[in-house]
Chain A
Amino acid sequence: MLTRGFTLIELLLAITLSTMVIYTSVAAFRVSAQTITISKRLSLENSLLRTGFQAALNELDYWDQYDDRSAVNRATNPLRAVGKSFAPLIYDPTKLECDPKTWWRGLGFAMDTDATPAVSATNTLKWGNYGQLQRAGHTEPIRAWYPDQIRTINRQLGGYGMISYLPGDAIYCWYESTAAPFAMRGQPRDIWERTASTPVTVNGATYKDGAFTDLLPQKPLHWPGLRVETRRYVVWSSYIDLCQVEVRSPLSSEALRLSFWGVGSSLRGARQQRNLDQLDQVEIR
């Protein structure tokens, strides 16, 4: 019986080859394991980022961070209070420049009415009684419409709502009939001057105090967090809707952020989604 075994050379070669194969396999397995881990992490992050991105786009359209449509009692949402952006409003939607009732009839040419309040009160009449031309509550509708509109919208919705609802050429200033003799509210300013330097925000807070949603509020501790924030404000007469999606690692607390500026529904659109406007006059032209 032939029982010849491997020669030493063969054995050595076999061991060498096996070692190489094993080493290669282990290295490849290690690399692939790392790759799979990284890939999984990337996949997870991408999923979260994509989810957050879609949530941000959704938020741009529906404004639920500022006024949650799914709330049980929506009337108690914080921004539904009078003076906030989602308060109910009854208004006349006329925005036709050719309609004389929408014309501003204040004093604009002399800008010395906003000094100290005492001086301003005097100066209101310095160039004549402009309150007789147009003021809130004037007996002639054509002289009352503009200040009534701006006063009503401002009182109901605040600054952001006023800017959103009034025409682009609106002058943010009006005369009051309640003050004696006719107190001018604010300095005559258009949207440019009204929003120069200082952002006018939806919720009346600073531009940094936007609204955010935790998309995984009940996640286990070892899961990454996902948060979407939107900041809506008007500055330099531009409407800014700044979104930020944040994916935060539970281990290192490092945040992966995606920020972008998008365009979605206006405040008027968001309010129409909620049927918050009642028109007291519908004009068909």
Chain B
Amino acid sequence: MTHFALPSRRGFTLFEVGISLVIVSVGVLSVMMLFPTGLKAQQMARFQILASAKAIELMSVNANQWRKWDEQRLEGQTLALCSINQVAQSPLIEQKNCNYRHGSLPVPLDIARRLDAENDEIQQVLRAGGYLFYSSPRPVASIDEGTISLEDIEIPNESQRLVFAYVGHAQQPALANHPCKAWPYYDWYPAPPRVSSFPNNSTPSSRHEDSWRLNAWPNLTEFLAVSTAWQTAVPNTLPELPHTRANVVAYRDKAKELVAALAMVRDLDGIPDAPPGNAYTPVEPYKVLAAGYLAQAMVWLTRPSLMPTAMESTQAQKAHEHSLQWLHRHVTTDPYDWGIDRALNFQNGWDHPLLQYELFPSNSPGARWQDANIFTAANGDISWRILTARPVRNPGTSTSYGMRSVIAPVPGPVAPPRPSGNKIDIEESFGTQVVGQPDTFNLTAPFQPAERCRQLVFWAVDWKSYQDAETAPSAPQDASRVPYDSDGKYSYHNNAHKFNNPEVFFTWNNSSRNGLNTSAPDGLSSKENYLGMWGADRNGNRKLDHGSVPPSVRMRATTIARFNFYNPRVWSGLRN
């Protein structure tokens, strides 16, 4: 028997098999690990859609002119007394959108400080004084709470994980109005003398008289005669007494005398001619008023029961037309003449003068803001002064602190009327700049678009899974959002959306956190409630949720999208 040497049939050793298996396992697992990457990409795509929609929304809100804000402006007696409006009403996007109605709510600072992002961007925004925002659980719709419910519109859950911030330096915005005088005021024209006795008149009284006296307009005596005649013709009685022809004629004649005393060129009937000069020639506001009084009186005489003549109807048409021409000239030539109210029937861009704080002293290159010409009120409050593009003519007094206003300290005795309203305070509020100095007043200075571009950055982070996501206090707010003056006197428009804690309708109204605010708290009864110290229902489900992540854990926010945008310094609107 021959023994053949068999070829070697030695198989893999156990070690080799083991190594092979390890390699195969690593390969399989590596491939498997790619699947979550795909999932992550889909989640990222979802966030990008949400961020795009949110970015469009934020820009839409910013592009809309919120005229309601005009109706909610406040006035301080002195420059420093009332800071409200000055920031909350600025055209900066983070101010304009940051309220319970317009979709941006600040992430509580306690939580925002735990969030890390690429290049430490979130913390840089916070360190610069900015906020990190989250989307309001309610849709943006500009509907009054309590009036109309929009709860049928839902916000996707994923958007609750989006946070965003505005990167890039905010600029010094224009002031929405003078802190002591919420100009522009509006009125209908032609109007009779604005005096306190006019029935059915909700417009604050005595504005015309205040202006006439405080701006030292000529022919005060004749003006007062018109005013008296008007009050005689329309006595302040209820029920109203019938208008008599004799009284209306007397009122008309006094208006004619005023027109004549003001040396206005007029026809044989005493009706003033059209304003002199061209379309750019300013006219004195008191002449606009005088022409208006006469027009109003003459049209009044066309009331059938006053038995008008044909001649009087013709005169009324002419007087009325010319008064409108005077009015139109006034409201289209000088935004810085505050002598008379702007016209409701001629609203235009000139109604809003350009104002800004004087952050730096005039004409001092390299000066620091601390060197600015600071205004100090009697109570120690300080403020920057106000700069305007052109000198303000006829600043007068404000409605809130008019000549007949009575300032009553709270608590305390009723103070006597102020003889000149807050005229002196307004006059003292203006800065020391030489008009036209571009180093101080710069709202009208040329600029490159890039200088006003900023970036809206979105991140995704599950910050609402923090244990204290709904118990952390609201982010602190600038004092300009609080509807009080610095003396602690309660002011109005407490429910205005631009004021208050932006989370106000989501904040818990008690320490047990089992109730939400249905109206804005007044701040006097509970500062904790007003400031949102008990936290807020930040996902909008009307119940307190506790996340699972302890506050000691930091979270990593993933950058989702960046959008460049133009941030204006002055108020503007796409429409209306």
Contacts and interface: CB of A to CB of B under 8 A. Distances in A.
A115 to B, nearest CB: 10
B222 interface: no
A129 B302 contact: yes
B142 A240 contact: yes
A14 B78 CA distance: 90
A238 interface: yes
Nearest to B59: A263
A139 B470 CA distance: 68
A210 to B, nearest CB: 10
Contacts of B120: none
Nearest to A229: B153
A110 B316 contact: no
Interface in A192-244: 192, 197, 199, 207-208, 235-242, 244
Interface string B334-353: 00000000001111100000
Interface stretch (A29-37, A82-90, A275-283): A29-37
B279 interface: yes
Interface centre among A130, A168, A238, A261 (most CB of B within 10 A): A261
Interface string A124-144: 011111101100000000000
Interface stretch (A20-28, A62-70, A71-79, A148-156): A20-28
A206 to B, nearest CB: 9
Nearest to A98: B279
Interface string B112-153: 000000000000000000000000000111111001100011
A259 B154 contact: yes
Contact of B142 (A14, A36, A238, A257): A238
Nearest to A112: B200
A98 B332 contact: yes
Contact of B191 (A42, A106, A109): A109
Given A46-B45, A171-B345, A240-B142, A207 B35 contact: no
B348 A169 contact: yes
Contacts of A197: 144, 147
A158 interface: no
Interface string B42-72: 1101100110111011011101111110110
A81 interface: no
Contacts of A256: 156
Contacts of B139: 242, 259, 261
B263 interface: no
B21 A17 contact: yes
B504 to A, nearest CB: 18
A38 B43 CA distance: 10
A42 B144 contact: no
Interface string B178-221: 00000000011111100000001110000000000000000000
B60 A169 contact: no
B303 A49 contact: no
Contacts of B56: 57, 260-263
A126 B303 contact: yes
B488 to A, nearest CB: 31
B38 interface: yes
B576 A168 contact: yes
Interface centre among B45, B187, B575 (most CB of A within 10 A): B575
Interface in B311-346: 313, 316-317, 320-321, 324-325, 328, 332, 344-346
Given A31-B32, A105-B324, A236-B142, A46 B49 contact: yes
A89 to B, nearest CB: 19
A237 B67 contact: yes
B153 A242 contact: yes
Contacts of A169: 345-348
Nearest to B52: A53
A28 B348 CA distance: 69
A192 B69 CA distance: 11
A109 B348 contact: no
B66 A42 contact: no
B307 interface: no
Nearest to A181: B304
A124 B34 CA distance: 78
B302 A35 contact: no
Interface string A86-111: 00000000000110100111101111
Contacts of A168: 347, 575-576
Given A42-B42, A126-B303, A235-B142, A260 B202 contact: no
Contacts of B320: 105, 133
Interface stretch (B293-301, B427-435, B517-525, B560-568): B293-301
Contacts of B304: 125, 129, 181
B514 interface: no
A43 interface: yes
The 3 closest A-B pairs by CB, nearest first: A108-B188, A42-B42, A128-B299
29 contacts: A17-B17, A21-B25, A28-B28, A39-B35, A42-B46, A53-B49, A98-B328, A100-B328, A104-B345, A105-B324, A108-B188, A109-B187, A109-B189, A132-B313, A169-B346, A171-B345, A181-B304, A192-B71, A197-B144, A236-B66, A237-B65, A238-B65, A238-B67, A241-B60, A259-B154, A261-B57, A263-B56, A263-B60, A263-B63
Interface of A: 1, 10, 13-14, 17-18, 21, 24-25, 28-29, 31-32, 35-36, 38-39, 42-43, 45-46, 49-50, 53, 57, 97-98, 100, 103-106, 108-112, 125-130, 132-133, 168-169, 171, 181, 188, 190-192, 197, 199, 207-208, 235-242, 244, 255-263, 266
Interface of B: 6, 14, 17-18, 21, 24-25, 28-29, 32, 35-36, 38-39, 42-43, 45-46, 49-50, 52-54, 56-57, 59-61, 63-68, 70-71, 103, 139-144, 147-148, 152-156, 159, 187-192, 200-202, 243, 279, 296, 298-305, 308, 313, 316-317, 320-321, 324-325, 328, 332, 344-348, 574-576
Given A129-B316, A207-B148, 5 more contacts: A46-B45, A106-B345, A199-B143, A258-B156, A266-B575
